[in-house]
Structure 1
Amino acid sequence: MKHYTTNRVVTALLCTTTAALITGCGTDSSEPGVKSTVSAAKTKHPFDTMTAEQIDKQAREAVRSTTSMRLTGTASSGGRQVEVDLAIDVRGSCNGTVGNSPGSIHIIKKGPLVYAKAGEDYWRATFSRGMTVAQTEEMVDHFKGRWIKPPQLMSETLGGFCDDFDSLLDVLSTEPDGNTTREADATVDGRPTAVLAERTTTETTTVYIAKEGKPYLLRATIVGGDDPVDLTFTDHNKPVDTTPPPRDQILDPTTLR
């Protein structure tokens, strides 16, 4: 798994998406959520007899069989941080939030249907361009707490992001460079993991691979470089909830001028 490419692709996808919306078009045991573990069990885990590359291969094979997952955490690109909590699947469906300053967007997508819901900060920043303060607040009051069916360009942007699940899998299952090392085991949200690290002169990419059940990737971090990443991966193969919002919560476009 060529881990450092995860940063380039994931952050590019996240930041490109949020930017389009806004314009209208080495890890250690002190990290949050991770605890070092010392196994007291006498029975060895299969990973204990494998090289780092062999463990990495097991994880890549598990990634290739994944049909859905949930990404939660933060990433950054060019100094711009993005927060993400998004469930996506191989069919292009998604449900969750992606955001940075000035706010986040909640997306629900199934097939060609896209619904979006943004916070007050997002709408205020959007409508403040070209409107008076009073007009802006009137529009914010109209949009807040409501879902919309976005116009074509916005729908294509959101939909394009949700369609990139295959690209994400391709990155996460890329063949290793041969310099991956096995670190001390740790837990991610209470689940034991094998920890692999890949280092360059400027940054360290660390991945946490499940030791129980299938060897899914549970967490990936990048530290030391210009674009840090801390993403957790859960809900592997769990169906994405694409239930549309209630009709009375969807903004009627005929009420807008």
Structure 2
Amino acid sequence: MKHYTTSRVITALLCTTTAALITGCGTDSSEPGANNTEPAAKAKHPFDTMASEQIDKQARESFRNTTSMRLTGKVSSNGQQVEIDLAIDVRGSCNGTVDNSLGTLHIIKKGSLVYAKAGEDYWRATFNRGMTVEQAEKMVGHFTDRWIKPPTLMAKTLGSFCDGFDSVLEILSAEPDGNATRENDATVDGRPTAVLTERTPTDTTTVYIAKEGKPYLLRATITGGNDPLDLTFTDHNKPVDTTPPPPDQILDPTTLR
């Protein structure tokens, strides 16, 4: 399991990202019509006969076919913690929220079209960088809690939250380096998972891989070190809802003087 805590991975996660794992696996069933009054022995899952590096390799191979997912949880980098709840796909579309020290930003992106909504603290911090206090407060009054269709430069900046999928795809689909270890199985939201862990002198990365249904990555954590994270992954391959807000709720900033 190539180490997930490189600055490249963290940057991609902060821009929103990541993954699902592994090829499909099934369990044996008893033969039809078998007359057996003894309880059937619990069938082993294919993972139970695999080395951790085999599971890791299959996970990466399956991940290459993942086209979308929803990420929920916390990511930290350079001392800043970001909470995300974001559906994202390989085309750079997204819908969800990113919450940092400035407040919560809700973003919808499809192609080059970006719509954003945030509270007054977020916009005040944005406009205070290049305006007088009076000018900034006027803009804050216009923007607060309204959907904005940003001009080109702002759209590119805000849209960058949705551009991390390909970077994580490249990183997590690389060949495993054989350093992962298999831990005791666990559950994530009631679903049984296989657990792989990688330890370094500074931190520990743990991934939880579904053992029922399609074996997707359901959770990843990094503890210790400077960039801890705790993310859950749902809605694998589910289309991202990029329906724009109603036109009467959208402010076009280019109409403001």
Give the shorter-chain TM-score range: 0.7 to 0.9
Match of 2:240 in 1: 240
Coordinate RMSD, CA, aligned: 2.1
Structure with max Cα Rg = 2
Equivalenced residue count is 232
SS of the equivalent of 1:54 reads helix
Alignment of 1:142-221 (within 5 A): 142-221=142-221
Distance 2:219 2:3 in 1: 12
Q: How much has 1:161 moved relative to structure 2?
A: 3.8
Distance 1:11 1:214 in 2: 26
SS of the equivalent of 1:240 reads coil
1:113 equivalent in alignment to 2:113: yes
Distance 2:254 2:96 in 1: 27
Distance 1:114 1:256 in 2: 18
With structure 2 as the length reference, what TM-score do the two structures score?
0.82
SS of the equivalent of 2:147 reads coil
Contact kept, 8 Å, 2:150 with 2:252, in 1: the verdict is: no
Q: How much has 1:79 moved relative to structure 2?
A: 0.9
Distance 2:242 2:203 in 1: 37
Q: How much has 1:55 moved relative to structure 2?
A: 1.1
Contact kept, 8 Å, 2:88 with 2:165, in 1: the verdict is: yes
Distance 1:99 1:2 in 2: 28
Q: How much has 1:52 moved relative to structure 2?
A: 0.6
Q: 1:45 to 1:14 in 2, by over 3 A?
A: closer
1:139 equivalent in alignment to 2:145: no
Contact kept, 8 Å, 2:75 with 2:231, in 1: the verdict is: yes
SS of the equivalent of 1:4 reads coil
Q: How much has 1:222 moved relative to structure 2?
A: 0.6
Q: How much has 1:77 moved relative to structure 2?
A: 1.0
Match of 2:11 in 1: 12
Contact kept, 8 Å, 1:14 with 1:98, in 2: the verdict is: no
Listed as ranges, the gaps of 5+ residues in structure 2 are: 17-40
With structure 1 as the length reference, what TM-score do the two structures score?
0.82
Q: How much has 1:3 moved relative to structure 2?
A: 3.5
Q: How much has 1:126 moved relative to structure 2?
A: 2.6
Q: How much has 1:210 moved relative to structure 2?
A: 0.7
Q: Deviations over 1:172-202 (max 9, x none)?
A: 2222221210001111111110000001111
Match of 1:49 in 2: 49
Match of 2:79 in 1: 79
SS of the equivalent of 2:83 reads strand
Counterpart AA for 1:216: Y
Worse overlay, 119-128 or 59-68: 119-128
Q: 1:14 to 1:186 in 2, by over 3 A?
A: closer
